């Protein structure tokens, strides 16, 4: 689950008459990714298969569109009997064309209606600024004494027209746009002036009044929308009636696509066909057994790193419950063949950090319900990315519900803590859920020192955030060292990854030091940090001797690590970038010394955001709760706040803001902590995903 599966590159030779049996076996095997042969037996290819690949993808896209229009779940089903894959593909294409032609007229009509609707909406936007003018333009534009024009102008054009002697009457539209009536003397060539300024005189068909034209457009748009809705409903109804056939055809097309993919990359000679590709090593024996009577197979193992012109696909076998988190990693890139997959790392840290930054049971519950709806929407649309992202949100919101339970927060402070928490008044009434909450007050008081919203907890939670950050950064740099060892690149190990590992050991030691006396964690941390400050600035009071010695060692350790990193970067610049000795030393210092020191500080401190967003979430809801309390007239009863219309509206707005805006921000910041602070220490993500061919329908004999 952590290290990508070892892949074997297989070469399969089969008699030409058995190629169809081989393709069927490989599709049923479901763990073979075809590749171009490294040493082809000839230059002859299956040209029909290469042509069919383009056509099959067109049919697949059309089937997806039909299923979307019909509101069907985009999923394959059905059975298929194949003797010859080229013939089968041609037959399936005929079936596809028949179904497409069945809906062709209706789809074309819908397309024309949509195009006409777009045109009418564009015309409506054009006439919108002048829709209240009820006079015919024929009358307006044929004035005896003036040349008249209706135009949309900006501030500069207004001034230019006035400079040319025109009178400009405007109605502001916003965004520096004005609907204007321009008047000038007869014979002043107003039309030419407008052309010079790049302005177009507004006109309507037959110069009818803009008000009438606007009404006609609205009526036409409404009629087309009605017809379009009817046609869409008619189309959706027909597609649903044909659901079984469409889904079966979709499954056949997907299977044909994968079969053509194998054939398109194969080579053939007079008697044999050569097929090559990648197979997980664990499945090699199963493949050999499946095709032992129809083909001869040989294989080799590609190197994890250093094999020129060969990048094996990366296959990380994960439990189904964890696979969705791959969608987060794929934003960064697929693991290289030699890299440790960060998915297992992410399954713990991503929901955990999200929950720490979003500790409200009620808000997290709403997010969970939205995520479930989003999941069903993704399933219906056939969007794998939407499904995976929604599952990540589900996991994260569940953890946020747990942290919300511990923090005793439910849509802000009022439902649990009540006015007692809002006003910090022990005699004020508590919330209706105060005694019914699963986490009792006695337990909450014991952990309040490490909850950001608890009393006197700010310093402790800052220190715990930094401890969490130092642990994650240490693990990240350790994984970087392990990856470098797996890569078998000594230069990469000793000159890139090892210096970072040495440097990031120090924050871990600093923030673990407080555990020597956990009951006084804050005091112990103050001593070690004070000792570091004294060594650096020689001001204040030194720490106790043993602590000061440790602080001195840690600072010297960082200095040695930074010098090591500086020398390593200078060497790499000199060797690979062919920099001069002077520039290598200077830029090596900037990148390996100065920048590395800043990153050590900023990456560690960056984890304080975990605390900051937890506090921000609480106080946003606190502020809206207090506004609701004021809107209710400062009542002594909590019920008065909950039944006050203005108070209810304020509470709803506040919670929606916290859920939507802060939920999005927390998700983004969670990704940032992983991508920038952690992944940059060990993960390159330059691999390619293992994409095996398979059958999407049941293949019968």
β-strands 146-153, 79-81 pairing: unpaired
Q: Residue 244 — pLDDT band, cuts 50, 70, 90?
A: very high
Q: What is the mean pLDDT of residues 76-94?
A: 94
For position 552, what pLDDT does the model report? 95
Strand partners of residue 698 = 79
Measuring CA to CA, how many Å separate 262 from each of 22, 31, 182, 285, 693?
A: 10, 13, 69, 20, 8
DSSP symbols for 443-470: HHHHHGGGSTTSTT-HHHHHHHHHHHHH
For position 453, what pLDDT does the model report? 65
Collapsed DSSP state (helix, strand, coil) of residue 147: strand
CA–CA gap between residue 13 and residue 10 (Å, rounded): 10
For 432, the token pair is 């209706």
Closest CA to 93 of 48, 50, 58: 58
pLDDT in tens, 118-177: 999 999 999 999 999 999 998 888 888 889 999 999 999 999 998 888 899 999 888 889
Collapsed DSSP state (helix, strand, coil) of residue 125: helix
For position 186, what pLDDT does the model report? 87
Q: Are 1 and 321 in contact (CB under 8 A)?
A: no
For 582, the token pair is 């002077």
Domain segments of the chain: what residues? 7-103+240-300, 135-208, 474-605
Angle between helix axes 595-605 and 498-512 (nearest 10 degrees) is: 40
Closest CA to 511 of 522, 498, 500: 522
Angle subtended at Cα 123 by Cα 120 and Cα 127, rounded to the nearest 5 degrees? 135
Q: Which fold has domain 135-208?
A: Alpha-Beta Plaits (3.30.70)
pLDDT in tens, 193-237: 899 899 999 999 989 999 999 999 999 999 999 999 999 999 999
Q: What's the mean pLDDT when you consider all of the chain?
A: 91
Residue 576: partners with Cβ closer than 8 Å, 6 or more residues away: none
User: Residue 608: phi, psi to the nearest 5?
Assistant: -60, -25
For position 22, what pLDDT does the model report? 97
For position 302, what pLDDT does the model report? 83
Measuring CA to CA, how many Å separate 44 from each of 86, 268, 274?
A: 16, 6, 10
Q: Is the pLDDT of residue 245 over 90?
A: yes
Q: What is the mean pLDDT of residues 578-587?
A: 92
Q: Residue 667 — pLDDT band, cuts 50, 70, 90?
A: very high
For position 283, what pLDDT does the model report? 96
For position 358, what pLDDT does the model report? 94
Q: Is the pLDDT of residue 515 over 60?
A: yes
329 against 127, higher pLDDT: 127
Q: What is the mean pLDDT of residues 180-188?
A: 89
Q: Report which DSSP code applies to 9.
A: E
Name the CA radius of gyration of the chain, rounded. 35
Walk across the sheet containing 167-174 and list its strands.
146-153, 177-185, 167-174
For position 456, what pLDDT does the model report? 58
pLDDT in tens, 268-320: 999 999 999 999 999 999 999 999 999 999 999 987 555 455 789 999 888 77
Measuring CA to CA, how many Å separate 621 from each of 250, 406, 411, 413?
A: 49, 17, 7, 7
For position 309, what pLDDT does the model report? 58
Q: Is the pLDDT of residue 482 over 80?
A: yes
For position 286, what pLDDT does the model report? 97
Q: Are 274 and 11 in contact (CB under 8 A)?
A: yes
Q: What is the mean pLDDT of residues 667-675?
A: 92
Residue 674: partners with Cβ closer than 8 Å, 6 or more residues away: 328, 342, 346, 349, 350
CA–CA gap between residue 134 and residue 204 (Å, rounded): 12
pLDDT in tens, 415-466: 999 999 999 899 999 999 999 999 998 888 888 777 776 555 678 888 889 9
């Amino acid at each position: 689950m952590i290290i990508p599966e070892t892949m074997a590159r297989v070469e399969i030779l089969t008699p030409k008459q058995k190629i169809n049996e081989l393709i069927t076996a490989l599709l049923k095997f479901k763990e073979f990714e075809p590749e171009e042969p490294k040493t082809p037996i000839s230059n002859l290819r299956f040209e029909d298969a290469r042509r069919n690949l383009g056509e099959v993808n067109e049919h697949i896209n059309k089937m997806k569109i039909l299923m979307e229009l019909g509101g069907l779940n985009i999923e394959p089903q059905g059975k298929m009997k194949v003797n010859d894959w080229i013939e089968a593909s041609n037959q399936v294409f005929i079936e596809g064309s028949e179904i497409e032609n069945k809906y062709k007229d209706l789809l074309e009509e819908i397309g024309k209606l949509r195009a006409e609707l777009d045109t009418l909406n564009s015309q409506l936007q054009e006439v919108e600024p002048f829709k209240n003018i009820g006079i015919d333009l024929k009358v307006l534009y044929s004035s005896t004494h003036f040349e008249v024009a209706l135009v949309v102008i900006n501030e500069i054009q207004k001034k230019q027209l006035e400079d040319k002697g025109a009178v400009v009457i405007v109605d502001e539209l916003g965004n520096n746009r004005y609907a204007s009536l321009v008047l000038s003397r007869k014979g002043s060539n107003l039309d030419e002036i407008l052309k010079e300024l790049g302005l177009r005189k507004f006109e309507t068909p037959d110069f009818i009044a803009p008000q009438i034209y606007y009404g006609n457009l609205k009526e036409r748009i409404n009629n087309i929308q009605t017809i379009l809705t009817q046609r869409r409903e008619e189309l959706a109804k027909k597609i649903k009636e044909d659901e079984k056939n469409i889904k079966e055809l979709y499954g056949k097309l997907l299977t044909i696509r994968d079969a053509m993919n194998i054939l398109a990359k194969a080579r053939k000679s007079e008697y044999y066909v050569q097929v090559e590709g990648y197979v997980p090593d664990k499945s090699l024996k199963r493949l050999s057994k499946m095709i032992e009577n129809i083909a001869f197979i040989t294989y080799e193992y590609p190197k994890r790193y250093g094999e020129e012109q060969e990048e094996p696909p990366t296959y990380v076998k994960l439990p189904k419950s964890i696979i969705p988190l791959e969608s987060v990693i794929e934003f960064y890139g697929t693991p290289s063949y030699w890299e440790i997959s960060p998915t297992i790392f992410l399954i713990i840290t991503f929901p955990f950090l999200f929950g720490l930054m979003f500790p409200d049971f009620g808000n997290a519950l709403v997010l969970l319900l939205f995520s479930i709806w989003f999941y069903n929407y993704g399933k219906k649309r056939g969007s794998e990315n939407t499904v995976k992202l929604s599952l990540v949100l589900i996991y994260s919101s569940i953890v946020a519900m747990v942290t919300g339970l511990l923090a005793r927060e439910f849509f802000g402070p009022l439902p649990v803590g009540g006015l007692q928490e809002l006003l910090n008044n022990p005699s004020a009434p508590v919330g209706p859920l105060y005694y019914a909450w699963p986490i009792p007050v006695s337990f909450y008081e014991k952990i309040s020192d490490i909850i950001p919203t608890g009393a006197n907890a700010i310093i402790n939670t800052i220190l715990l955030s930094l401890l969490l950050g130092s642990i994650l950064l240490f693990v990240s740099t350790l994984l970087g060292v392990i990856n470098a060892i797996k890569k078998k690149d000594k230069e990469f190990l000793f000159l890139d990854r090892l210096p970072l590992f040495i440097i990031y050991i120090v924050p871990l030691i600093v923030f673990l030091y407080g555990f020597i006396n956990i009951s006084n964690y804050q005091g112990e941390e103050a001593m070690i940090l004070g000792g570091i400050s004294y060594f650096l600035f020689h001001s204040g009071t030194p720490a106790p001797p043993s602590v000061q010695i440790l602080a001195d060692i840690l600072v010297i350790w960082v200095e040695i690590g930074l010098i090591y990193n500086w020398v390593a970067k200078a060497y790499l610049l000199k060797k690979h970038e062919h920099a001069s000795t002077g520039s290598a030393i200077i830029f090596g210092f900037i990148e390996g010394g100065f920048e590395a020191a800043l990153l050590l500080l900023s990456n560690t401190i960056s984890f304080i955001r975990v605390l900051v967003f937890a506090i921000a979430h609480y106080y946003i809801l606190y502020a809206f709760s207090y506004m609701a309390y004021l809107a209710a007239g400062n009542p002594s009863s909590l019920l008065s706040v909950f039944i006050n219309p203005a108070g209810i509206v304020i509470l709803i707005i506040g919670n929606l803001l916290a859920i939507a805006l802060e939920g999005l921000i927390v998700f983004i910041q969670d990704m940032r902590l992983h991508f920038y602070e952690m992944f940059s220490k060990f993960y390159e993500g330059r691999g390619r995903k293992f994409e095996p061919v398979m059958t999407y329908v049941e293949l019968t004999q």
